[in-house]
Amino acid sequence: MPVATLLPFTSTPSRKSANPTSFRLTEKFILLLVFSAFITLCFGAIFFLPDSSKLLSGVFFHSAAVETNTRTGPDSSDSGSAANDEKRVLAKIRKDHEEALLEAKDTLKKQPDEIKLDILNDKGKVLKDGGKDVNHLPFLEYHRPPGATGHEPQDPETRERRAKVKEMMKHAWDSYRHYAWGFNELRPISKQGHSSNLFGRIQGATIVDALDTLYIMEMFDEFDSATAWVEKNLDFNVHAEVSVFEVNIRFVGGLLSAYYLSGKEVFRKKAVELGEKLLPAFKTPTGIPWALLNLKSGVGRNWPWASGGSSILAEYGTLHLEFMHLSKLSGNPEFEQKVMNIRKVLNRLDKPQGLYPNYLNPNSGQWGQHHVSVGGLGDSFYEYLLKAWLISDKTDDEAKKMYYDALQAIETNLIRKSSNGLTYIAEWKGGLLEHKMGHLTCFAGGMIALGADGAPSDKTGHQMEQAAEIARTCHESYARTALKLGPEAFRFDGGVEAIATRQNEKYFILRPEVIETYMYMWRFTHDPKYREWGWEAVQALEQHCRVEAGYSGLRDVYASTPNHDDVQQSFYLAETLKYLYLLFSDDDHLPFDHWVFNTEAHPLPVIRKDKTDLPNEVE
C-alpha cells in the first residue's frame, strides 16, 4: 500500500506564520497553568485555613446552596442540609480543579513539540522525552554562523540555473513526501517507500539527510514539516543493527547541521541522543569501533566479508567531525576522546609505503589485508584528516601532518597519468596497482583543492593543478558515456581510458562526488568550465534520471536508453543537489572559512578558539 494512504499529510504553517501561532498557544498553556494553580490554592485554603468554609461560602462561591447556608445559623435545625451543601461545593471545586489540570495536560500534549521546547528553553532546559530526562545538556546560547542562506547571483544565467536546481530539489522532496514519507528512501518508479538495512530500523533517512539542503535553499515550509517529523517520529530505540558510519554521516551529521543552521534545540538533543547510542561501538580491545551495532543491546560486530573481522578505514576514520561537535554540544568529552584514541592507534602502527590499508583488526590493533584505496573503503578517512584540521580552526596540527603525509604517499604510490594524459588515482593491492578509479574517488579533486590552500608553499600550485586534472578525468568519465552520467568505476587498462569495462561497474546511483569536485574547483578557481560541467550534469539528470515521481539511478550509463534502478538515494538530496546549488551560488553562501562539509555534505561550523561561530555555553 502506498505510504501516502497510511500517513496523511500534515498541514504545515509557513515559517512566518509559525511564530505568532506558537506564541498564542504558549500563552494559552501558561494561562491554564495559572488558572489551575489558582484553583489549587483555593482548594488548599478550604482544607488548611481556619474556618475556611466561611470564607468559601461568603466570598468566592455565591451559589444558591451557599446562600441558603449563610442564611441559617449554626443552631439551625437545617444544619444537616447545610453540611450537604458544603460537600457539594467541595465536590464541585475538586471537579473543576481536576478538569483544569486535565485541560492543561491535554493542551501540552496537543501542542507541536516546538512549543514545549520554547517553554523549556526559556528555563534553559532540554525537553524531557516520555517523562524521562534523556539528555542533561548544558544551556547554550545559539549564534548562527554566517552564510546559512545566500542571495540571488547577479548573472541572469547563473540565477536561472540555481533556480532550476531548487526546482529539482522540490521535485525530489515532493515525490518522497507524497509516496514514501517516513521511509528511508523513495522508490520513484514503483512509487513506494524503500528501507535500506544500513540504518537498521531507524526511519526517515531522506528527511534527516535533506534538512539542511531545504534550509539553505530557503524551502522553509518543507523544512518545517521535516522538523515536525523529526520531533514526533525520529526514534533511535530500535532493536536492530545499524552501520555506525552511515548513521553517523547521515543522521548525526544531518541533525548537527540542521541545529547549526536553524538553532532548533530538537536537533541538538536528537544528535546527542543518537551519538550516545553509538558509543558502545567503541567497546573493543583497541577502541577501534565496530562497523555494525545493535542500538538497543549495544552489541557490535564487523562486516563478515571484511578481511578477518577487520574494521574499515573509511568507516572508523569518518567519525571525527561529528564527534568533536557532539562533545561541544553535549559538554561530554567522551565523544572527542573516542575519536582521538582512533588516531593514537593509527599513529602507533607502521604504514606500508606511508599508506593506510583499508582493513584494521579492532582486537589485535593490526592491519588486515594490505589494500589501499582513495575510493570505497578508504575515501573519507583522508577527507576527515584534512577537515579535522580545518574544523579546529587550523589548530589540530597532528591532523594536518597526517593529511599531508598521507597525500604525499598517495601521490607517490597511487596517482598515475594515462598515455593520453588523464590523471587518475589507482587502487593498491599489496604493492600491485589496479588501474581503476571509482566514482567515489572523484571526491578527491575537491579534497586536494581544499587542502592546497594550507599545503607547504612549494606544493600549493602543484596540488591545485593535480585537483584540476582529477576533475578533468572525472568529467571525461561522464562525457564518454551514452547518457552523460558517470559509471561506478572506470578503468585505464586493456586499451581504454576513463571507461567502465565490466558490466557490474556501469551503473550510476545519483552519486555526488564528481559534482562535489566541480563545486570546490569553482570556488577556488572561478573557471567557468566547472559551472558548465555542472550544468551538463543537470541536463543529463533531467533527461535520464527524472521520472514522474522523483529521480532514479541508472543500471547502465552506456546503454542508449535509461534503465532505472528505482531508488532515489538520500544522498541525492543531501549532497548532489546541494553541491549543484552551491556551484551556482555566490561564494559567501556557506563560506569555507566558516563551514566545513562532512562527507555527506552536511555543513558544520569551524570550532573557533574564541567560540564566535559556535553556541556558547552559559556558565
Residue 382 or 404 having the CB closest to ligand DMJ:
382
Residue 392 or 569 having the CB closest to ligand DMJ:
569
Query: Cβ 249 to ligand DMJ, closest distance in Å?
Result: 6
Amino acid at 483: L
Residue 177 or 250 having the CB closest to ligand DMJ:
250
| Residues 602/593, Cβ–Cβ less than 8 Å | no
Longest alpha-carbon distance in the chain? 118
CA angle 174, 178, 184 (to 5 degrees): 90
| Residues 339/288, Cβ–Cβ less than 8 Å | no
Q: Please say if 231 is a catalytic residue.
A: no
User: What nine digits make up the cell of 289?
Assistant: 569501533
| Residues 52/45, Cβ–Cβ less than 8 Å | yes
Q: Could you give the 3-state DSSP secondary structure of residue 300?
A: strand
Query: Cβ 489 to ligand DMJ, closest distance in Å?
Result: 13
User: What nine digits make up the cell of 604?
Assistant: 558544520
Buried/exposed 228-256: b ≥16 CB within 10 Å, e otherwise: bbbbeebebebeebbbbbbbbbbbbbbbb
Residue 86 or 600 having the CB closest to ligand DMJ:
600
Q: Are strands 489-491 and 432-434 parallel, antiparallel or unpaired?
A: unpaired
Q: CA 106 to CA 111: how far, in whole Å?
A: 9
Closest by Cα among 541, 586, 516, 509 to 169: 541
Stretch 278-307 residues interacting with ligand DMJ (CB under 6 A)? none
Query: Cβ 231 to ligand DMJ, closest distance in Å?
Result: 25
| Residues 77/20, Cβ–Cβ less than 8 Å | no
Q: CA 550 to CA 552: how far, in whole Å?
A: 7
Residue 249 or 252 having the CB closest to ligand DMJ:
249
Query: Cβ 140 to ligand DMJ, closest distance in Å?
Result: 28
How many residues contact ligand DMJ, by CB under 6 A? 9
| Residues 433/424, Cβ–Cβ less than 8 Å | no
**DSSP code of 188?**
T
Residue 26 or 380 having the CB closest to ligand DMJ:
380
**DSSP code of 572?**
I
Amino acid at 249: I
Q: CA 182 to CA 239: how far, in whole Å?
A: 18
Q: Could you give the 3-state DSSP secondary structure of residue 461?
A: helix
**DSSP code of 610?**
T
Amino acid at 74: P
Q: CA 223 to CA 218: how far, in whole Å?
A: 8
Query: Cβ 379 to ligand DMJ, closest distance in Å?
Result: 6
Query: Cβ 387 to ligand DMJ, closest distance in Å?
Result: 12
Stretch 505-544 residues interacting with ligand DMJ (CB under 6 A)? 511-512
Nearby residues of 116 by Cβ (< 8 Å), 6 or more positions away: 108, 127
Stretch 411-430 residues interacting with ligand DMJ (CB under 6 A)? none
Backbone angles phi, psi at 490, to 5 degrees: -135, 155
Closest by Cα among 363, 198, 360 to 292: 198
Stretch 370-409 residues interacting with ligand DMJ (CB under 6 A)? 380
Closest by Cα among 424, 557, 418 to 479: 557
Stretch 467-506 residues interacting with ligand DMJ (CB under 6 A)? none
Query: Cβ 250 to ligand DMJ, closest distance in Å?
Result: 7
Query: Cβ 589 to ligand DMJ, closest distance in Å?
Result: 20
Query: Cβ 479 to ligand DMJ, closest distance in Å?
Result: 20
Backbone angles phi, psi at 260, to 5 degrees: -65, -30
| Residues 248/278, Cβ–Cβ less than 8 Å | yes
Residue 223 or 579 having the CB closest to ligand DMJ:
579
Residue 492 or 571 having the CB closest to ligand DMJ:
571
Residue 469 or 600 having the CB closest to ligand DMJ:
600
Applying CB under 6 A, which of residues 342, 600, 603, 607 lies at the interface with ligand DMJ?
A: 600
x/- letters, 221..250, toward ligand DMJ (CB under 6 A)? ----------------------------x-
CA dihedral sign, ordered 408, 412, 414, 415:
positive
Query: Cβ 26 to ligand DMJ, closest distance in Å?
Result: 39
Residue 440 binds to ligand DMJ (criterion: CB under 6 A): yes
Residue 183 or 579 having the CB closest to ligand DMJ:
579
Backbone angles phi, psi at 550, to 5 degrees: 120, -150
Catalytic residue chosen out of the listed positions 231, 322, 488, 575: 488
For binding to ligand DMJ (CB under 6 A), which residues are involved?
A: 249, 380, 440, 511-512, 571, 575, 599-600
Catalytic residue numbers, as ranges: 488
